[in-house]
Structure 1
């Protein structure tokens, strides 16, 4: 066992030197994504890098993503990814605009079709599968003991020292999970249902929904009866507090 520990320490030191020698320069690639006519900026296009970073285009079709010099980036819209573009082959990383083969009619259909929460959630999981499946490196994955003896997973050892990348991936994963949970709550705890059960409207409706927004766990596991009962009981407390404040 002592020999194995010494072997692991030697490999770790070698990995640190290897990583230090292969440190990449960092770039920020930014630009705008257009439709095939290059007339309309595209919203919510996924932008991913081979190092695991990701983002989406904003309301103006603009994006900005941090990458390494050996990275490549690609774009994905409606589940259709583009080819990968090596960072070193991009002439101007400050203005890397691209047009996707999407007709204007398709864009209009996307705007008028009602959103399907479950389909959106599944598609988001597919687009960011690498991020959702990411796991923090650990000693258990670095070593294995089989019939031929102990073995070392060198790739896993190297990955354990990529501190910045690991931290970035974990932050991105947490953000995606939080967004997924928020959308799940919004889907069930919606204004139409609350308005029907409470008859609240306008500012009072917004205030009630902010004060009594349920947790993700309750939203996920409660049945329809218990969920609607929660809204009704919360409404009683809301009106009681309102009456108290007026006296």
Structure 2
């Protein structure tokens, strides 16, 4: 009878630890992935909005100063368009929740209670690498768009014959800042985040016991 009790104790201890360890590990991985995705979109959104607002403010100030009184296309109109595009783009990145953040909220609101539910989340975990690469690719393309927009502002300032010299130089500076921030965004999105590393499951035997009993437990880690 005591031998049967020990076997049951071993089985129950191993089952509880085996089920709990992967769930806790998934929560930690999902939290790390959500933090990585949130950091990327916040940095990208903030830089894009800042660059767009700076360029837009410069263009509006030029119109207020009468620099671009000619209704024909000019550096002022181009700067307004590029600035608005960058600002809207940054706002979208700041407001839209990433897939990793949504998954973490879903996981914590309804943690898996069965093996089938846990396996489904493990599948999402393994698919995260592809989703993270896609997100970084989108960020790189938008950063490239900022570089291109900054180059357009520099070119438009250079060919605007009626533009005062001081404003022409400031146009070069504004375009260079816009392009430089785009290059920073592209560079930051090149490096994979820690959460993109592929997961592997590891198991180990660990002693389990308490007053009056002893046993072994399986410990799993993702």
Bigger RCO of structures 1 and 2 (CA < 8 A, at least 6 apart): 2
TM-score, structure 1 as length reference: 0.25
Which protein has the bigger helix share?
2
For the pair shown, which has the larger CA radius of gyration, 1 or 2? 2
Which protein has the bigger strand share?
1
